[in-house]
Amino acid sequence: MTMFRIALAQINTTVGDLEGNSQRIIAALKEAEEKGAQFITFPELAITGYPPEDLLLKPLFIAENLKWLEEIVKETGDLTAIVGFADKTGDNIHNAAAVIRNGKLVSVCRKVLLPNYSVFDEKRYFEPSASSPVFVLDSLRFGVNICEDIYQPICPAANQCLIGGADILFNISASPYFAGKRLEREAILQRLAASCGVFIVYTNLVGGQDELIFDGYSMVLDNRGKIIASAAQFKEEILYVDLEVPAGEKKRDGSQSRPLEVPGLRVETIQIEGGIKKISRDKSITLGKARPMDPLEEIFRALCLGVREYVFKNGFREVVIGLSGGIDSALVASIAVEALGPGNVIGVTMPSIYSSEGSVSDSDQLAKNLSIRFLNIPIAPVVASFEALLAGPFKGIERGLAEENLQARIRGTILMTLSNKFGWLALTTGNKSETSVGYCTLYGDMAGGFAVIKDVYKTMVYELAKWLNSSKGRKIIPQATVEKEPSAELRPGQKDTDSLPPYEVLDPILVRYVENNKVLSEIVADGFDREIVKRVISLVDLNEYKRRQAPPGIKITPQAFGKDRRLPIVNKYRAWRG
């Protein structure tokens, strides 16, 4: 029986900040040593940040990342550290983990399975490894692998356990968040641990990078698949766990389908000099287990983290939001306040002659509830000026969409001018339902630097607003805003349902088409009207050009627009004909 203390360093890295990331790693090394840890693990590509994308094509970037690894090796004291970095062998780049002990680089483990789906493009940059080592330290046998290497039904983890005899697996990961991903990860890790009779130490990245959120939730599982400790979601921390690992004993749960070995993958055995020192009794720790969040809280916290990370990591301090009195802008403002604090959020109402009284009063009430700065800039004079300017070219042509969208574009211009003048980042307020079907205005309500609820359906917007009010114990978002019928207010009496099916009908169709890739006949078979489905599919397909020009936004579903779903703009295929 081998007993030792592990530190899971769930750190928040920034892509390209090689020095800052390395200093974070070194600080964690020192803390872990002070607390008597024998092992410490860091997330995937911790030195470079994840995903570094085409920075990996720059030779100097790779070279500097390797120099920082050398500095980290020097700072590694009397413990075994597993650190993610970008390795280079000849002309090949590898997604790698350094195994370091007592100031020496013991070995490098390279990723075998390179994901090339959804938001991942790892085959563009990395070469896969042909081997997966198992290390021997005293009587302990442990394997080190990277993210995808434990996720697939045929995976290197199986080689390390079933051929290499590993008692424990250290997996370093940068697994992006979407709603439900926590439970998905738990199920995969529990099945692997139980079926192979192996302990698993899973260390995940936390933080935000462009459109991706990394939720952390690092965890340790015993050899029966039980989660014995876990770190919080959406929060940077170091989780300490004392483990007793029975060497060589494998209690495999035959009821669990075990993963299969990767054919031809070599399993090397590497002996590590020295031994595992005893845990100091005066440095006892308490096992931590994160409180699981309910689904709405989890999504809200993910959105808050995404805003905070994007704003601060890009050097902004304050944000500006156009407030319409509607539910979308109210939710975005509430998320921004939670993420940045009320002093860093500015709300702007820009009423036109078509704006209802509630548009201004509800926006004003929201600003008071959130304690944010509030500007009222009427656009009616500007609209009149534009219409006078265009009276000649428009003569004899009936008023229509161009005049409606003019109002949205004037509002977009005002917000971007305020952003330009004061250095405020403009947050857009369009939801996934609207952007899916193009119910949004280029250079109007789509104008801004970051799209907070870009991946949130309208029905979910309402659920989040109600959850927020309930969780705070008061009406942050005014009840009138929650109850009013959605409207762009660009013409008299306008309602969203003039142009779209009710959101309760629209959103389930969108989920089936956009996320589940169902075809027309399959969606109709689920009980939806054929003509409505045809129209929705046609709107989604025809508005790819708009979405391609939208600002980046936070991914919270399994299939988000942008890096997830990549369709050509010029495209003659018409899915609604099916």
Q: Which two tokens stand for residue 260?
A: 């299969």
Q: What angle do CA 6, 8, 13 make, to 5 degrees?
A: 150
Residue 340 has pLDDT above 90, yes or no: yes
At residue 487, does pLDDT exceed 70? no
- The chain-wide mean pLDDT, for the chain, equals 90
pLDDT at 536 over 70: yes
With residue 191 as reference, give the H or E element that holds it. Answer: helix 181-196
pLDDT at 58 over 80: yes
For range 4-11, the mean pLDDT: 93
Are the C-beta atoms of residues 575 and 533 closer than 8 Å to each other?
no
Three-state SS at 377 = coil
Counting every residue, how long is the chain? 578
Query: Of residues 221 and 260, which shows the higher confidence score?
Result: 221
Planar angle of CA 451, 457, 459, nearest 5 degrees:
135
- Confidence band of 118 (pLDDT split at 50, 70, 90): confident
* pLDDT tens digits, 350-364: 988 887 787 889 999
Residue 288 has pLDDT above 90, yes or no: no
Told to judge if 122 belongs to the known catalytic residues of this protein, a careful annotator would answer no
Task: Name the active-site residue from 44, 127, 148, 298.
Answer: 44
Q: Active site includes 546?
A: no
Q: Which of 109, 122, 147, 261 is catalytic?
A: 147
Q: Are 302 and 213 in contact (CB under 8 A)?
A: yes
**Would residue 111 show up in a list of annotated catalytic residues for this protein?**
yes
**What is the domain partition of the chain in residue ranges?**
2-283, 295-577
Residue 139: count other Cβ atoms within 10 Å of its Cβ.
14
Q: Is the dihedral of CA 544, 550, 552, 554 positive or negative?
A: negative
Q: How confident is the model at residue 283 (pLDDT cuts 50, 70, 90)?
A: low
Q: What is the percent of the chain where pLDDT is above 70?
A: 94
> pLDDT class for 105, splitting at 50, 70, 90?
very high
User: Span 533-561, mean pLDDT?
Assistant: 92
CA–CA dist 557, 546 (Å, integer): 20
On the question of pLDDT at 331 being above 70, the answer is: yes
Q: What is the pLDDT of residue 78?
A: 84
The torsion angle over the Cα atoms of residues 12, 15, 18 and 22, rounded to 10 degrees, is: 20
Lowest mean pLDDT among 259-268, 549-558, 561-570: 561-570
Longest dimension (CA), the chain: 89
Which pLDDT belongs to residue 1?
62
Beta bridge partners of 31: none
Q: So what's the pLDDT on residue 495?
A: 73
Task: Tell whether the model's pLDDT for residue 496 goes beyond 90.
Answer: no
Amino acid identity for residue 553 in this structure: G
Name which CATH class applies to 2-283: alpha beta
Buried b (16+ CB within 10 A) or exposed e, 319-343: bbbbbbbbbbbbbbbbbbbbbbeee
Check residue 239 and give its pLDDT.
94
Residues near 345 by beta carbon (within 8 Å), at least 6 away in sequence? 318, 319, 321, 333, 336, 337, 370, 372, 373
pLDDT, position 498: 72
CATH number of 295-577: 3.40.50.620
Q: For residue range 199-258, what is the model confidence (pLDDT) as tens digits?
A: 999 999 999 999 999 999 999 999 899 999 999 999 999 999 988 887 766 666 666 677
pLDDT tens by residue, 416-438: 999 999 999 999 999 999 999 99
CB 553 within 8 A of CB 335: no
Closest CA to 47 of 70, 71, 17: 17
Residue 574 has pLDDT above 80, yes or no: no
Both tokens of 518, joined, read 């169902």
Q: Looking at residues 447-456, what average pLDDT do you find? A: 96
Q: Is 567 helix (H, G, I), strand (E, B) or coil?
A: coil
Q: Is 438 helix (H, G, I), strand (E, B) or coil?
A: coil
3-state secondary structure 201-234: EEEECEEEECCEEEEECCEEECCCCCEEEECCEC
Q: Give the predicted TM-score (pTM) of the model.
A: 0.92
Distance CA 174, CA 292 (A): 20
